[in-house]
Structure 1
Amino acid sequence: MLVFILNAGSSSLKYQLMNPVNKETLAVGICERIGIDGALKHEYGDDKKLKIESDLPTHKEAIELVLKTLTEGEGKVIDSIDDIEAIGHRAVHGGEEFAGSVMVSEKVINKMKELIPLAPLHNPANIMGMEICQELMPGKPNVAVFDTAFHQTMPDYAYMYALPYDQYTKNGVRKYGFHGTSHFFVSNEAAKRLDKKHNTRIIVCHLGNGSSVSAVFDGKCIDTSMGLTPVQGLMMGTRAGDIGAGAIQYMMETEGWDIKEMLDVLNKKSGIVGISGKSSDLREVLEGMEAGDERCRLAVDMIAYRIKQYVGSYAAALDGVDALCFTGGIGENAAIIREKVCAGLDYMGLNIDPVKNNKRSGEARDISTNGSAGRIFVIPTNEEYVIANDTYKIVKGIE
């Protein structure tokens, strides 16, 4: 079964064509700068690459170009759009309405529209992608896979904020969490690698430009670091993460910022780029640290310290830890961050092996010492496979 996987952003569109049964990926790509000047980057076959410059005034033209590229010319991987059996969509925010992936219907789209205030940048683009695919590929099933769904198993005492209760009942103000498909995939892969098959206690650190940590007990999320929006939690590429409300008020008053300006600072000018003053890309910050830049050193230490704080608190919430997992661009590639996070965690039975940790590999691996009571894993995430597999199961009616 071939599934067309779509991740529609406000000005970009990522896609893959995958067979979830054998995990074969036929093509992967992205349309960038939609509405500006437009370009498609398409990868297929044995590391073949194709770039097409094209006017892409809207997402519709972008999806049309992707489908044409998949079926015609140099980048062709299928004979016809008819070869695509279903479309799986990344959907950012499902609120409390969606605790799992669902077949897209008018009712689902209307409910997602109601949730737009919770994800004003993402949900409109996700909905647009669904509606365009329904138009361009009529009759083919579309499935929505929500970033927030995996975290819907959190208990109320974990997801509630200590605000007036009517803010929850009237406005849905609570912790939702994101990166759910990644946390699901990695925690599931980690569980397979443990000798213990029940009551597993797994902490997943999804670390990239956006980062989050989750505590997973027996396959179910019991807590996660991101909140109502993705700005809460860890220090990230450009996001501040956890910060006291009083600091926000103080900055707004002293700088004369309105709420939009404040949110712009919290989401786009803080985190790694805000502290280092150099870049939101950790690779450049690590180069700066090695060259003696103190602000880069501070950024690296802050990243690791804040991850470590969450690991400690989630180990307490889980009453111990069987596996600590690292994934995402930083989690998979930054050995120094893993080293700093794991330093001193031997008291909870986690001992990192420095040789294994510094060995680069694109494969899932155990980087703990042989005598470590808990395991430390590096597991490359595969969110696209989760979307494709959920789509396959829903379309085929598989529980």
Structure 2
Amino acid sequence: MDVEAIRKEFPILHQQVNGRDLVYFDNAATSQKPLVVINALMDYYTGYNANIHRGIHTLAEKATKAYEDTRHTARAFINARSEQEIIFTRGVTESLNLVASSYGRAFLKAGDEIVISGLEHHSNIVPWQIVCEATGATLRVIPILENGELDMEAYKKLLSPRTKVVSVNHASNSLGTINPVKEIIALAHAAGAVAVIDGAQTGAHVAIDVQDLDCDFYCLSSHKMYGPTGTGLLYGKRELLEKMPPYQAGGEMIKDVTFPKTTYNDLPYKFEAGTPNIADVVAYKYAMDFILGLGRENIAAHEHALLTYATERVSALKGVRLIGTAAQKVGVVSFGVEGIHHFDIGQMLDSRGIAVRTGHHCTQPLMDCFKIEGTVRASFAVYNTKKEIDQLVEGLERIINFMK
């Protein structure tokens, strides 16, 4: 790939921060947006801003078509069987809450068990805790190994006829670990459980085929895959979505309303109450098209080369401890430096124009497992370069020498 040509598509990258060229290594938190996505937002608001699905005038019909075009692209992007299996949400957090609140509250009871992993983001922990409190179900946790991989033997032992839901991330936002989700899903199904996959950290980085995985639910966030914030999707197998009760009530999710009784709309609209985030959903299509245009295999190869290079260079620095050394990872390097607080490192890197994330990354139980407060996390995207990694390493060397 011509990375320099790709970088020209991202206006935000061409600025200085604290007098230095910006190096943006906070992609696991949110990725930057190419012009094609920015222009799609502008085009919607300047050309055909209207509410969807309800109007017969020209702008409403144009907006509806653009909105539903994104659903069509999303179906193909993850290889769902039907567009009715694609539900637009505000992102992975809402998608997980939808499944937990609708499926969990409707079909779980006291004595049932929900299995998650020690790698989970808080958004894949807390909703299930709330479901357990409401239903009497029990939360079980797959332990992790020292290298940041799941203990699969322990997972197999956790499964039983009581297991009703298994919910894990496809890749860890804190460590980058890519989990063996196809095996996890197959084992969950063998135990009679449904499998929920948090794909927040994989949408922009690896190819996703929900039919091949055979997952029951899969969640994506637009803003982590070069799209706008505030939108994403939930994929669910149609047979499960059909029997699940609505998550929210209001306009669009209804078919007929009378005071005695209301009947609900067909899929996917049963789960899309109210006026949606139209503009950002419309622009989300262009983000997916951008990824497909570059080629997911090409993106993965480029980011793997960055990961390998960064891992070698950062781990060679004095006092550095890498956190998470799994064999299969997305482009995340998470580390600490002996004797220097991660917040201090983050602030001093920022003074050099380098944006990284510090803290527990909304994975506090994972940090507790490693007996640390947090890490410095550098996470890569298709527009990052080895030269930028060299700048990161130079900055870290100066910080270590200064603080020591």
Q: TM-score normalized by structure 1?
A: 0.26
Instruction: Select the structure with the greater relative contact order (CA < 8 A; seq sep ≥ 6).
Output: 2
Q: TM-score, normalised by structure 2?
A: 0.25
